[in-house]
Every structure is written in structure tokens, then in C-alpha cells.
Chain A
Amino acid sequence: MKNWRYIVYGIIIALAVSFPFYTGLYLRQVAITILIYMGLALSWDMLLRSGQLSFGTAGFFGLGAYTAVLLQLGTGAHPIIGIILGGAVAFIVALGLGFAVLRLRGMYFAIVTLALASIFMLIVKNIPSLTGGPAGRMLPSVVFGGDASKMYWLALAVVLITIAASEAFQRTRIYFALTSIRDNELVAKSSGVDVFRYLVFAFSVTAALQGIIGGTYAQIYGFVSPEETFNVNFLLLPLAMALLGGIYSTAGPIVGALVLGALGEYLKLQIPYGHRLVYGVIIIVVMLFMSRGIVGTIRALTRRGQDRKAVP
């Protein structure tokens, strides 16, 4: 049974890696977009597992994107180094801020993260000499000379790293720490969980992932601007995807990103303006009727089926 599971994972990964060989340019580009959002959705969910709702994904995403682009423009470093440093900058900023903001809970934490994302955007906007101000900066060429297949593999690699991190969060003692903090912080604390340290750890790791994803995005599209890079899309879509797929799991955000990414691409063609309406509706509907998401609901259904089998 267990081996069977790994074979399925292997097939999925093989399919994902070989994806550019049997698809056209358009599909490859759609896949890149979906992968970017998938990584964000997953990293957002990873922090949510500790019970902390962050609205700051777009902020760390933008921080990584700007770092990657400015580093390359300034020093001519290799794009991959820029991406890694984008993650590092997001990590350090989140670590510093985390010590302060992670004393907050609930709505206070959520609003402050939203405010932080706005601060990043405004600071970037107000230093034109470095960041190009409202117009942003452009790379002379995109990564890999615009080869869509290689860009796809880059995005896939980043998502695989995120998945690995998410699984590490699920399979090690981090899982028990975060889950106990989410369920009851006081109990977690009295059971010897260093709540604050785990929260800072989860916050900075997810920020680093968001920074890496942002750097990748900037390298793939070759430009950064305050309005585009800190766009609400990079908050709204990952949230909708993770919620639709099912929160508190690795599979949920992945499934949600695939479903919503494909649907979103279709909607963008159908209603160019206001297709984001659908994402908002999905968030509301999931919160009202299906708070476990697709994966959670399927799991609950199959579990119920097993229970029924167990009863003679």
C-alpha cells in the first residue's frame, strides 16, 4: 500500500517534469503562472497551520522580486543567485519583523501583515533612484533567454522546494508544535512548546519561500513595478486556491491551485475585467459551506466510507 503511494507520486512528478515535451508554448506559460501561485498558496498555508492568518504574502513576494531584479541590474549576478538572495532578504526581514509582530494574534496580526505589505510597496515606490519609483525597473533580458521550457523547470523546481518544506512541516515535530499552537496556545505552552520560537521560525521560512517565488517570478517576466509586483493578486489568488483545495495540508493548496489556475485562465479569456470576482466568491462559498476544501471533504468522505466498512 505504501509503495503504491510512492509510485503514484513518482508518476506525477515525472509527468510534471516532462510537461514541456508534449505541450505548446501557451500551455507552458499557463503552467508557469499556476506554479507561481501554487507556491504562494502552499507557503501561505504553512503559516496558517500555526493559526496565524497572514495577509502579507504579496509583500514578501515583492521583496524577493525586487531583490532579484536590483541585484542583477546592479552587479550582473547570475539570476539564480538573485532568486536565492531574494529569499534570503525576505527571510531576514521576516525574522526581524517577526520578533515584533508575532506577539500579535488574530485580527491584529492579520491587519499588521497587510500593513507591512503596503509599507514595502510604498517604500519601494518612494525611492525612485534605486527602484525606479512607480515605473519600476526592467531587466535587459529574461532568464534563460526566454526559453519557456527552462523557465517552466525553474518554476517547478521552486515549487518542489516549497512542497518539500511543506512536507517537512507536516512530518516532523514542527507539525505537532504548529498544530498544538493552533488548537490551544496555552496548552501548547504548558506542554513545553516554545510557541514564540516556532512562530518566528514558521513566519520567516514561509517569507523566505515567498521571496524565492517572487524572485523567480521577476526573473521570468523580466520586470518589477510597485503596482504589478505587490499586486493584490498575489494575496487573493493564493488564498482562494488554498481555501478551495483545503487548508492545513500539502495536497490541498496544490489541488486548489491546479483547479483554480485552470479555471482562472479560462475566466480571464471570458471576462477580462472583473474575473477576480470569482476568486472572492470562491473564498466566501468555501468559508460558508466547505471550510475543509476539496481535499478535506474527499478525505472526510473516504474516511466515513472506511468507518462504515469497519462496522460489521
Chain B
Amino acid sequence: MESATRFKWKYVLLPLLIVGVAVVLGVWKPYALIQGLQRGGLYALIALPMALILGIVGIINLAHGEFMMLGAYFAYWLSVHTGIDPLVAMIPAFLAFFIIGALTYLVTIKPVLKAPELNQLLLTFGLAMVLTEFANLMWTSQSRKLPLRYVYSSASIGSLTFGTFGFTYLLGAVVVLIALLWFLRYTRTGQAALAVGQNPRGAKLVGIDVNRTYLLIFSLSIAMVAAIGGLFLTGHSIFPGVGAPYTMKSFCLIAMAGVGNLPGILWMGLGLGTAEAFVSSFQGYGGWSDVVFFALLIAVIMAKSYRRHTA
């Protein structure tokens, strides 16, 4: 434990640095900053439920983005058949995928909880493939989009005109983050879940039902990410492979923030989104923004591993 009294420079310098970069970027390339914040909000929003599973159940769910994709399809069909708005469809998606998540946990995840990490990784990888191909089989690889008016709402600051709808993602990420923190700190179930995440045996000894906690957290996380799929649908076209990159990005954010650090995911998401938007803003280099992402992912994981080795 570090002493609490020691003044930590990083808490002063880091925000200053972030604000500085944001100001420079805002003046030089305002669109990149705005787009980056919107994009980063979406990344963080999707990553948060995955962090919940990884932190408490201890499983890296490689099918995370695929559940979002299925949730988006769910909202899409509900919206097409009944005419309700996909944002409203998030509620039935949440409920339906809570049950689907519970079933997935009971059938596939629970048997491998004690298995080596390798088996868990392979299992969720297989799950991701099954979900993608299921969508492919059911709805073909054609991409689908809902015609929504409000998505194109925009605002102007001075001579700057930009879409405002993307900030919904950022707002969603903040809301989900606060809700999760509140749940984990101030509700009995949440505190129990946190205890299980820290030490499953210890939690069991003090009378917490570990299995039920795992079931609840896994189902909750799947339900959340499926509901997020409904929100995702408003601004994006969906196709069976749409979720896979978000699994990677979510994992990347979690690795960057460190397992168990939920607020860090939001900051890392914003940073990553801005970096990507910045690279895409150069004409002709748009294709390299994903390279930036992967390079960043590897660099951060490597840096963390070195710190672990030297510590």
C-alpha cells in the first residue's frame, strides 16, 4: 500500500495533460475532438459490462460484442414489426437477454469456471463464432439500418456545425458508469458481488452465494450489452460481424484501465476514440486509424506487462 499522505503528482499532471491535449485538438481539429468524444463514449459504454464480468466472474467474454450485435438485431426486428423506437426496444432487449445470458451462463460458462483459462478463452471464442454465424444464417450478411430522423440532429457553436446525437453514447457511458459504481458500492447485492470478485472463497466463507452472484452478474452484463445494442442500432448499420471489433476494443480499454477500474475505462475510451478520430481526420489516412488502435492496444498491454515484471 502506498501511503495516503504522499502527494501524488500524477493526479495533477495527468488531468492537466489531458486538458492541454483536448484544448490543442479542439482548436486545431475541432471535428476530430467532437467525433472522438462521441466514438470514445460508445467504446466505453460497450466495454463497461465486459469489465463487470471480467472483474467479478473472472472470465474474459470473447463473445461480448456478439451479444451486442444480437441485441441490436433484436431491437431492429422489434422496431420493424411493431414500429416502436429502438430506444424503447432497449427495455425488452434487456429483459430477454437477461434470460439468454442466464441460460448461456448455466449451459456454457458454469462448467468451465474451474477449468484452465485456456479452456475459458476457447469456449467464449467458440461462442462468439456461433453467435455470428447464427446471425449470418438467420438474417444473411446484408447490413441493415433503421431510418431515424432524430439521429441527424445537429448543433452549432460559432461556425462549427456538428451532429449531437453521438453524445448520447457518452451520456449513456456516464450513466452506466455511475449506476454500476452505485450498485457495487451501495447495494447489498453489489457489495456481495464485489466481495466475490476480490476473493470467491472468502466470500463463500462469510455466507455469500457465489454461484448465484456469478449468475446474476453474467446475466446482468449480457442484458446490459444487448440493451446497448438497441442504442447502437440508432446510429449504425448492423450486420453479423459488427460486434467483433467491439469485443477487441472493449478488452483493450479494460486492459488499459486495469481490471477493476471502471472509471478508468471511460477515460481510456475517450482517449482512444479521440486518437482514432484524429488519425482519420487526415485525408487519405482514414484506413490507418484501426492500425493506431491495435498499435495502441499492444503498446499499452506491453507497457503494463513490463511494469508488472519490474515491480
Contacts and interface: CB of A to CB of B under 8 A. Distances in A.
A239 B122 contact: yes
A108 B301 contact: yes
Interface in A252-290: 271, 273-277, 279-284, 287-288
Binding site secondary structure of chain A: helix
B130 A107 contact: no
Interface in A193-218: none
Interface string A214-233: 00000000000000000010
B187 interface: no
Chain A CB count within 10 A is highest, among B128, B130, B131, for B130
A287 B298 contact: no
Interface in B112-126: 112, 115, 117-119, 121-123, 125-126
B140 A273 contact: yes
A287 B124 CA distance: 10
A108 B305 contact: yes
Contact of A276 (B112, B129, B140, B291): B129
Interface stretch (A14-22, A88-96, A113-121, A165-173): A113-121
B111 A288 contact: yes
B282 to A, nearest CB: 13
Contacts of B305: 103-104, 108
Given A283-B122, A284-B108, A291-B119, A114 B248 contact: yes
Contact of B291 (A107, A122, A275): A122
Query: Which one of B121, B126, B128, B294 has the greatest number of beta carbons of chain A within 10 Å?
Result: B126
Nearest to B290: A122
B242 interface: no
B129 A283 contact: yes
A283 B112 CA distance: 13
Given A119-B291, A122-B290, A291-B115, A107 B121 contact: yes
Chain A CB count within 10 A is highest, among B140, B141, B294, B297, for B294
A20 to B, nearest CB: 33
A236 B115 CA distance: 21
Nearest to B137: A274
Nearest to B306: A103
Interface residues of B, number: 42
B6 interface: no
Given A277-B130, A279-B129, A107 B60 contact: yes
A101 B118 contact: no
Interface in B124-144: 125-134, 136-137, 140-141
B142 to A, nearest CB: 11
A291 B141 CA distance: 32
A54 B275 CA distance: 28
- Interface SS of chain B: helix, strand, loop or mixed? helix
Given A111-B251, A122-B287, A122-B291, A284 B123 contact: yes
Contacts of A106: 117-118, 121
B11 to A, nearest CB: 27
Nearest to A285: B126
Contacts of B297: 111-112, 115
A280 B252 CA distance: 24
B117 A274 contact: no
Contact of A53 (B112, B118, B294, B295): B118
Contacts of A311: none
B302 A111 contact: no
B149 interface: no
B208 to A, nearest CB: 26
A271 B133 CA distance: 12
A287 B112 contact: yes
Interface string B90-112: 00000000000000000010011
A98 interface: no
Contacts of A232: 129
A111 B137 contact: no
Interface of A: 48, 51, 53, 55, 100-101, 103-104, 106-108, 110-112, 114-116, 118-119, 122-123, 125-126, 232, 236, 239-240, 243, 271, 273-277, 279-284, 287-288, 291
Given A51-B118, A112-B297, A273-B141, 11 more contacts: A101-B302, A106-B121, A108-B255, A112-B298, A122-B294, A271-B137, A275-B133, A280-B130, A282-B126, A284-B126, A284-B130
15 contacts: A104-B305, A112-B297, A118-B248, A119-B295, A122-B294, A126-B287, A126-B288, A273-B140, A276-B136, A277-B137, A279-B129, A280-B130, A282-B126, A283-B122, A287-B126
